Structure formats: structure tokens, C-alpha cells
Structure 1
Amino acid sequence: MSDKNGHPSTSFVESIAGFTAGVVSTFCLHPLDLIKTRLQADRVSPSRVGSSLRIIRTIHASEGGLPAFYRGLVPNLVGNSSSWAIYFLFYGNIKDAIRSVRATTLPSNNGNTTTRTASLGASEYFVASGIAGLLTAVLTNPIWVIKTRMLSTGARTPGAYPSFISGTRRIFQSEGLRGFYRGLTPALLGVSHGAFQFMAYEQLKLYRVSPTSGSTTNHQLDNLDFFVISGLSKVFAVVITYPYQVLRTRLQSYDAGTVYRGLWDAVGQIWRNEGIAGFYKGLGPSIVRVLPSTWVTFLVYENTKKALPSITSSAG
């Protein structure tokens, strides 16, 4: 977990920072995730302004008040923390691998050689993020199936999973291993969301770090920079890729096996019955949720990544 100089390895730092960011953001913003999931799973009500308030009133009045907004917290917490940890672990290692492949070995004046590390471009960040996203999606899809089902139904709904463990057991008994991978296809398509987001995030960071006119020193990124850059990159990705989230939620719901024959059948039914607006159900609360979530995630991630080397050094 440490390099030859005794410093924590890149993969360790990336994983711990991602795990911490996932835990903090989930605790803070779970209720908004629940509301978004209810809207995405709704095949009956038309998409209109104020739908979120209707969902909030219904949950509060009929499902047990404030605690009902934290139904499904455990799978969401497990899913987000493990996803971010796994994602950043792969993302950091893949970036390092690309840099090592592109590194240039140069002769020095004293007869030795030096290695110059190459900087990555937008396409390479896109590839690194995409591969990391694919691996993370495959490994964590079972958690998201249980999370989606718990968030899309109240605890008092007949047949609803009372807990994460109960949901795991019932899916295995009634659907087998295949049940844990419902919605995987749109989830894999949704990898493009993270790829677009991180491509934009890394490029905006590079742009911000670059010396301004009349200066020769790089700008040091602070929390305001991370706040703005993470928000802009997230909105960019959401606008491009949001429909896959609706498709994934529909295909992971309790009755998906009886309603949809597969991904393209879901696309056709939504188009025929709900129109283009059906693919953007829950977009409002999704944006309201993802921006604070993104800000919290990346601020915690970047600051944890900065703090870990000094913490481990002082501990040693």
C-alpha cells in the first residue's frame, strides 16, 4: 500500500478518497435519490413541474414521515462508497498505465537516462474513465438492483424488501444470479456518463491550473475551483446521458420481467406511452441531487487525497 519511498500508493489514496467521498455524499443526499428513483420508476403519471412535491407529500403522509425518506439507505451507502472506491482505484491505475506507456526516456548530460512523464489528453481521460466505469458497473450492479427496488417502494408496500439482506436473499431465491444483473445493459451504456464527466473535469482542471496571461507559475487549485469545475462537468454529462438512468431504473424495478422484454422494448414502450419527456422523468430532482452530491463527492475526494500522504507520514 506504500511506494518505495514509504508514501501511500496512488491506488490506495484514490480508493480511500473515493470511499470517503461516497459515504459522505450518500448520507447527505439520500432523500433526493429516493425521490428521483420514484419519479423514474413511475410509468403512469405524466412528467410535469411539481411532481417532486407530490412524491414528497405522499411519502411523508403514507409511509411514516421523515424516516421513510431514508428507506434503502444501506444499499445506497454500500453501493456509493464501494463504487467510488472501486472506480477511483481503477481510474488511477489506468491513468498511471497510460502515462507509463507514453513516458519518454531521454539521455542526460551525465550519461544516465531520465524518464519524462507524458501528460494525458481529453481522449485518454475519456478512455481511462470509460474502462474504470465498465469494471465498476459489472462489479456493483447487484447492489444497485436492491437499492432501486427499495427506493422505488415504501416499506409498507406488499412484497417490498424490508432490508438489504432480505432483498439479496429473495432475489437469489426467486430470480437466481441473473436477477442481480437486471439493468446491466443500460448501466454499461451509462458508463459514457462518467467518461464524459471525467473528461470534462480533468480538462477543466488543466485549463484552470495553466498559467494566466503574464504569469509563469501554475495556479494552485482550491476548494472554489473544485466546486465550480465539478459542477460544470457534471451538468455537461447529465444533459448528454440522462435517459439511460430512466431505462436502468425501469429494468431494475420489481415487475420489470413482466412489463419489458428487454432494453429495446423498454425504449419502445416509453416512447409510445410517454413520449420524449418519459426519458427525462426525474431530471429536475436529479440535477438538484447530483450537483450537491458532486460538490460533496469531489471536495471530499480532492481534500482526502491531499491529506492522506501527510497523515500516513506523520503516523509512520
Structure 2
Amino acid sequence: MTGQDGLSSSFVETVAGFTAGGGLNALPSSTRSGENKTPGYITRVLCPVCFLSSDISVFLVDRNATTRLGSSIQIVRDISRYEGGFAAFYRGLAPNLVGNSTSWALYFLFYGSLKNGMCIYRGSFSALTSFDYFLASGTAGALTSLLTNPIWVIKTRMLSTGSQFPGAYSSFTTGVKHIYRTEGVPGFYRGLVPSLFGVSHGALQFMAYDRLKVLRSHTNQDPSSLGVGHENKTRKLNNVDFLALSSLSKLFAGCATYPYQVIRSRLQTYDAPLMYRGATDAIMKVWAREGISGFYKGLGPNLLRVLPSTWVTFLVYENVKIFFT
């Protein structure tokens, strides 16, 4: 399929995804949690909440740590004081830039191509079912995870250690060299299994988003317009629609898949090799030490935190697509 300028849909999807991912890097890339132990090191565990959101989510390691506003303010002060001031909040920007842009570009390329294939099979985009969107999104997510997991491992380790912490990665390339030297190729794929399970987050998010787009675009129209051959009888969506629909789909997916994000985060941190033997061990330890609540710590603040990046991503993506097509 091609746009009005003869550009292929794959090209448009890739450029739109790459641009949307790059736009996320205007946001601070570091969030910390936990108790201050010593200058230059604050106990915390972070993770990119699924490559589809490229967010940084807070998970508390210390059983007595809190998520109160006062604690958050203290964490900000400690990071600024012990880790280099304002620049510390942008630690990990290089892997952020590479990871976000590459992940979104690959994801939308795969997702768009799969939807086009399903469209040809079904005969119309309007004929695609929720399961079709779920399958296309899940497959695209799995492929993207396989290709980009090394980037997220380095990013998470950079963000989970302050620049003054002994052994902390000073740059993206330093992280690559260190992991290859100390852990070999398998080190780049720590947390991959939970990531693959976590593809369900993106699958649910995009299933909901695309279905909501279809419903919204056919609001107040004859139900018969939803059939094959009636794609032109739809209203154009605007930025307010994109904001509302992306928010609803993100909230839905975030609530449904949050526990896996906690486990993946803990498996990808700098000291994970010393703490956990694998995903099963991490699950058992979280359950034993913190109970069911341990899998949902920080859910509320995280849902509020991820929405701005979701808005940026979808607004940029949709508007770039409109520009090219």
C-alpha cells in the first residue's frame, strides 16, 4: 500500500514510529526510589515499562520504603546532591534515544505490515477483529523485544546506579563492553523471558487503541457503514481523540500487565545476577517477602507517570502518518 506521495506504508510506519520514539527523549530519563544508603548510591530498581511505553517505573526494594510525596522529594534532592546535579536526571539518555527510536520504528513496521496482511486476508480494515489486532500487536512486540532487549538491559543498569557508584557504566558503549566481557552474549538477554510474556501489554494496548479508533470514527453513523467496502464513511479523528483513546488503552493495558513489569525490572538491574537465579526465583522472592502487593507497588504513580509519554508517542505518530499520507 502507498500514500498519496507514492510512499510505501512500511516506510511511513517506520518513520512515524522512529520519530515518535525520538520525541520521548525530551522527558527526563531517570527516576529513583528507596532509601539513601551512602553518597553516590541510592537503593532503587527501575525498568522501562515495556518498550511500548519506554517509561521509567519505580519499584521499591526496601520493605520499609514508601511512595509518599515527601520521600519522592527527598529522592530528587539526594540525586541532585550526590550524582551531579541536573545532569543526573538525564543519565542514560543515549540508550534512551537508541532504544526508544529503534523499538518504536521496528514495532510499527512489524505491526503495520501484519495489519496490512490481515487486511488483505479479511478484505477490509473495518473487518479486522479485536483478536486480529491482538495477534498483530503481540507478534510485532515479540519480534521487537528479541531485537532490542540488549539496549534495554544497558539502559536499565545505567538508570539503576548513580554515576558515582563503583562499576557504574559511564556510557552506552562502556556498558556493551562490560556485559560482553563479564557475562557474554547471554548477559544482553537478561529479562527476555519476562519481556516476551510482557508483550501482552502492548498487544492489549494496541488492540484497545485500534478498536477504540474504529468505534470513535464511526460514532453517530449507520451501523451498516462498518461493513466491507465502507471505509470512506468515517469521520476523521483529531488530536483530542488521539489523546483520549491512547489514555484509555494505556490505562487498560497497564492495570492488566503490571506484575510482569516488576519482575522484568528486577531481573535487569545491575545487581540482579547476585539477587535472583531467574524469573521464577524473582517471583518467589517477591511473593515471600512482600506478598501480592509486591507485584503492584507503585501502580498508581506509574499510571500517572506513563500517560505523558503515551500522549507524546501517539500524537507524534499519528500526526507524522497524516503528514505523509
Pairwise TM-score range, normalised by the shorter structure: 0.7 to 0.9
1:188 aligns with 2:196: yes
- Give, in angstroms, the shift of residue 287 of structure 1: 1.8
Distance 1:149 1:68, change over 3 A: same
- The answer to whether the 8 A contact 2:28-2:90 is kept is no
Which amino acid in 2 is paired with 1:172?
Answer: Y
Question: RMSD over aligned Cα, in angstroms?
Answer: 2.3
Q: Which residue of 2 aligns with 1:289?
A: 305
SS in 1 for 2:270: coil
1:148 aligns with 2:147: no
- Give, in angstroms, the shift of residue 275 of structure 1: 2.0
Q: Which residue of 2 aligns with 1:112?
A: none
- Give, in angstroms, the shift of residue 53 of structure 1: 2.9
Between Structure 1 and Structure 2, which shows a larger proportion of helix residues? Answer: 1
Aligned length: 296
SS in 2 for 1:134: helix
- The answer to whether the 8 A contact 1:141-1:180 is kept is yes
1:248 aligns with 2:256: no
Post-superposition CA distance 1:135-182 (Å, at most 9, x none): 001100000000000001100001100000000000000000000000
Q: How does 1:125-144 map to 2 (within 5 A)?
A: 125-144=133-152
Q: Which residue, out of 71, 82, 96, partners 2:102?
A: 82
1:178 aligns with 2:186: yes
Distance 1:198 1:254, change over 3 A: same
Q: Which runs of 4+ in 1 moved over 4 A?
A: 2-6, 32-36, 213-217
- The answer to whether the 8 A contact 2:158-2:169 is kept is yes
- The answer to whether the 8 A contact 2:267-2:276 is kept is yes
C-alpha distance in 1, partners of 2:103/2:32?
16
Which amino acid in 2 is paired with 1:174?
Answer: T
Q: Which residue of 2 aligns with 1:206?
A: 214
Distance 1:284 1:158, change over 3 A: farther
- Give, in angstroms, the shift of residue 101 of structure 1: 2.0
Which amino acid in 1 is paired with 2:112?
Answer: G
SS in 1 for 2:59: helix
Q: Which residue of 2 aligns with 1:39?
A: 58
Distance 1:117 1:225, change over 3 A: closer
Q: Which residue, out of 166, 169, 194, partners 2:174?
A: 166
Distance 1:47 1:186, change over 3 A: farther
- The answer to whether the 8 A contact 2:28-2:89 is kept is no
- Give, in angstroms, the shift of residue 118 of structure 1: 5.8
- The answer to whether the 8 A contact 1:39-1:52 is kept is no
Distance 1:9 1:36, change over 3 A: farther
SS in 1 for 2:163: coil
C-alpha distance in 2, partners of 1:210/1:4?
22
- Give, in angstroms, the shift of residue 220 of structure 1: 1.5
C-alpha distance in 1, partners of 2:213/2:5?
28
- The answer to whether the 8 A contact 1:126-1:196 is kept is yes
- Give, in angstroms, the shift of residue 288 of structure 1: 2.7
- The answer to whether the 8 A contact 1:29-1:293 is kept is no
Q: Which residue of 2 aligns with 1:56?
A: 76
Distance 1:85 1:294, change over 3 A: same
Which amino acid in 2 is paired with 1:11?
Answer: S
Q: Which residue, out of 57, 66, 69, partners 2:89?
A: 69
- The answer to whether the 8 A contact 2:267-2:279 is kept is yes
C-alpha distance in 2, partners of 1:178/1:41?
26
Distance 1:97 1:276, change over 3 A: same
Distance 1:213 1:13, change over 3 A: closer
- Give, in angstroms, the shift of residue 117 of structure 1: 6.2
Post-superposition CA distance 1:36-85 (Å, at most 9, x none): 82732635543433343332222122111111000011111111110000
Aligned identity (percent) is 53
Q: Which residue of 2 aligns with 1:28?
A: 27
Q: How does 1:213-292 map to 2 (within 5 A)?
A: 217-292=233-308
Which amino acid in 1 is paired with 2:78?
Answer: T
SS in 2 for 1:242: helix
C-alpha distance in 1, partners of 2:311/2:220?
25
Q: State which drifts further: 215-224 or 243-252.
A: 215-224
- The answer to whether the 8 A contact 1:161-1:167 is kept is yes
TM (norm. structure 1) is 0.87
Q: Higher Cα Rg: structure 1 or 2?
A: 1
C-alpha distance in 2, partners of 1:16/1:135?
18
- The answer to whether the 8 A contact 1:134-1:191 is kept is yes
- Give, in angstroms, the shift of residue 3 of structure 1: 4.5
1:9 aligns with 2:29: no
